[in-house]
């Protein structure tokens, strides 16, 4: 069993999964060809992760604390730069394949540690879903990212993620513009799944091509279907007549959509249609696991309820790590900030996953991610006590400087065009009129009464 991370320092928490072999592979993917810099790969990733775990109210304060924590654990290494601008410049030059290599190495470790314990009759359940992240209204992001579902909304980044069920552990993800196609993202993520995976999807994903591809890859699916999906039975089968439909619970049917299969002379797919009765409505599921002993109707409903762990992952990413809105204002930094935060969340949840004994043997359960994040933050605070007198004085000086920073404006303020908002109209000038004879007489009477 894995040791309790509560007893570990920040260095042990990071190095438990980001081993020297992982750093070596990341360096091979980096292949730095730019000018020598004080920001090396390990320093960049360390500070990026620690900033995502977050100690501070501003990006400047989180950077100063994250850099000090890195220095405290690498006292014999060369010091990285002290300025946030220098860090962001070096981060923008960091190739994305280096960060993606870290995620690939973590997946390999998760395969050994978590996947086998999560299998159900040999199938490893995964879920897939997508969400949007707000970005600043900078000119560069508005030009390249585009808006989301609403017209004239802020620039958005689209995240499609695969999670390992029932832990809700992020497995792989893909980024796109605000109006990206999550179906295309899913097809690009399929090669990352281990053999004999069970893909759990909601009603937005039914697709003949997807079912075909999963079957060719020796993978299973469990997809919620709705009235948009049409299934067929043989003509001599009377059990699915309209008056008999309420009795249908579990049976084999043909999935043969007209445009994507019949018109292209594709073969109909035999799938298993399962009906899970619920208090608030029935849930219809389609799967290619034909044997009820491998996936019973009760277990199918149970596994589909696990799909909400995917929604929980997005909640943790946005609110636990405060990523409802990305802070960076350029395309390169937006992707690297978002990728670093996903790696940080992946490490938090990997440490929160523990093994426990049950009546069916050893199973994996997820501890509180919030508690694990607090442990990591306390480790960051404890790391600062390891600084020498000079490093501590430098950290305290930089922290006081960013907390009291007054930023002088060097350019004119740029006014953005906000959608669905009325333009401000300045008040009109006052009216100036000549007093009439009647008002003059009234004025004289008022003054005379005031004197008496």
- 119 vs 390: CA distance, rounded Å: 52
> What pLDDT does residue 314 have?
92
Asked if residue 169 is part of any domain, the answer here is: no
- 213 vs 173: CA distance, rounded Å: 19
Asked if residue 171 is part of any domain, the answer here is: no
> What pLDDT does residue 452 have?
74
Asked if residue 422 is part of any domain, the answer here is: no
Asked if residue 274 is part of any domain, the answer here is: yes
> What pLDDT does residue 221 have?
93
Q: Which of 291, 347, 382 is nearest to 22 (CA)?
A: 347
> What pLDDT does residue 242 have?
47
Report the number of distinct structural domains present in the chain: 1
Domain that holds residue 240: 203-298
* Residue 4: DSSP 8-state: P
Q: Which residues contact 101 (CB under 8 A, 6 or more apart)?
A: 25, 26, 28, 29
Provide the 3-class DSSP secondary structure of residue 78: coil
Asked if residue 129 is part of any domain, the answer here is: no
Residue with tokens 């997005």: 314
Provide the 3-class DSSP secondary structure of residue 377: helix
pTM of the model: 0.83
Quickly list H helices, 36-189: 41-53, 59-73, 84-93, 96-110, 116-118, 139-144, 182-189
Asked if residue 252 is part of any domain, the answer here is: yes
Asked if residue 246 is part of any domain, the answer here is: yes
> What pLDDT does residue 161 have?
95
Say if residue 180 is exposed, middle or buried (CB neighbours under 10 Å; 0-12, 13-18, 19+).
buried
- 352 vs 100: CA distance, rounded Å: 22
> What pLDDT does residue 280 have?
76
DSSP string, 268-299: PEEEEEEEE--TT--EEEEES---TTTS-HHH
List the pLDDT tens digit at each of the 452 positions of the chain.
444 444 457 888 888 899 999 999 998 888 766 556 789 999 999 999 999 998 778 888 899 999 999 998 888 888 898 889 999 999 999 999 999 999 999 999 999 888 888 888 889 999 999 999 999 988 898 888 877 666 777 899 999 999 999 889 999 999 999 888 888 999 999 999 999 999 999 888 888 888 989 988 989 999 988 888 888 877 555 544 544 555 678 888 888 888 888 888 888 888 899 888 877 778 889 999 999 999 999 999 999 999 988 888 999 999 999 999 999 999 999 999 999 999 999 999 998 887 554 545 556 677 888 998 998 988 888 888 888 888 888 877 777 777 776 666 666 665 566 666 666 676 776 776 777 888 888 888 888 888 87
The answer to whether 218 and 280 have CB atoms below 8 angstroms apart is: no
Residue with tokens 């930023």: 407
The answer to whether 70 and 11 have CB atoms below 8 angstroms apart is: no
Asked if residue 168 is part of any domain, the answer here is: no
């Amino acid at each position: 069993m894995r040791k309790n991370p509560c007893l570990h320092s920040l260095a042990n928490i990071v190095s438990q999964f980001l081993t020297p072999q992982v750093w070596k592979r990341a360096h091979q993917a980096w292949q730095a060809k730019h000018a020598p810099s004080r920001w090396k790969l390990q320093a960049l990733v360390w500070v990026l992760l620690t900033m995502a775990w977050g100690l501070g109210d501003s990006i400047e304060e989180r950077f100063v604390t994250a850099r000090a924590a890195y220095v405290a654990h690498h006292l014999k290494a060369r010091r990285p730069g002290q300025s946030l601008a220098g860090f962001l410049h070096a981060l923008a030059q960091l190739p994305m394949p280096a960060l993606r290599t870290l995620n690939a190495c973590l997946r390999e470790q998760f395969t050994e540690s978590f996947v086998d314990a999560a299998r159900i009759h040999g199938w490893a359940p995964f879920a897939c879903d997508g969400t949007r992240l707000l970005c600043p209204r900078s000119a560069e992001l508005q030009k390249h990212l585009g808006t989301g579902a609403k017209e004239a909304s802020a620039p958005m980044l689209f995240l499609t993620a695969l999670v390992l069920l029932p832990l809700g552990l992020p497995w792989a993800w893909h980024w796109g513009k605000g109006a990206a196609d999550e179906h295309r993202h899913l097809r690009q993520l399929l090669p990352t799944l281990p053999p004999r995976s069970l893909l759990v999807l909601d009603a937005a994903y039914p697709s003949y091509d997807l079912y075909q591809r999963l079957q060719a890859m020796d993978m299973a699916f469990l997809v919620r279907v709705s009235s948009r999906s049409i299934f067929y039975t043989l003509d001599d089968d009377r059990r699915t007549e309209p008056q008999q439909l309420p009795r249908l619970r579990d049976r084999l049917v043909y999935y043969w959509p007209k445009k994507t299969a019949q018109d292209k002379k594709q073969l109909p797919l035999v799938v298993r249609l399962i009906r899970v009765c619920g208090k608030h409505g029935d849930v219809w599921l389609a799967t290619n696991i034909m044997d009820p002993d491998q996936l019973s109707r009760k277990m199918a409903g149970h596994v589909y309820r696990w799909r909400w762990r995917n929604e929980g992952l997005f909640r943790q990413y946005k609110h636990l790590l405060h990523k409802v809105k990305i802070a960076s204002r350029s395309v390169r930094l937006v992707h690297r900030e978002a990728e670093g935060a996903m790696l940080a969340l992946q490490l938090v949840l990997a440490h929160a996953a523990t093994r426990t004994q049950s009546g069916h043997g050893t199973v994996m359960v997820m501890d509180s991610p919030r508690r694990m994040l607090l442990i990591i933050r306390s480790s960051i605070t404890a790391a600062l006590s390891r600084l020498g007198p000079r490093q501590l004085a430098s950290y305290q000086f930089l922290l006081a400087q960013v907390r009291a920073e007054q930023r002088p404006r060097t350019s004119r303020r740029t006014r953005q065009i906000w959608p669905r908002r009325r333009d401000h109209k300045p008040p009109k000038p006052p009216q100036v009129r000549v007093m009439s004879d009647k008002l003059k007489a009234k004025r004289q009477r008022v003054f005379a009464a005031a004197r008496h």
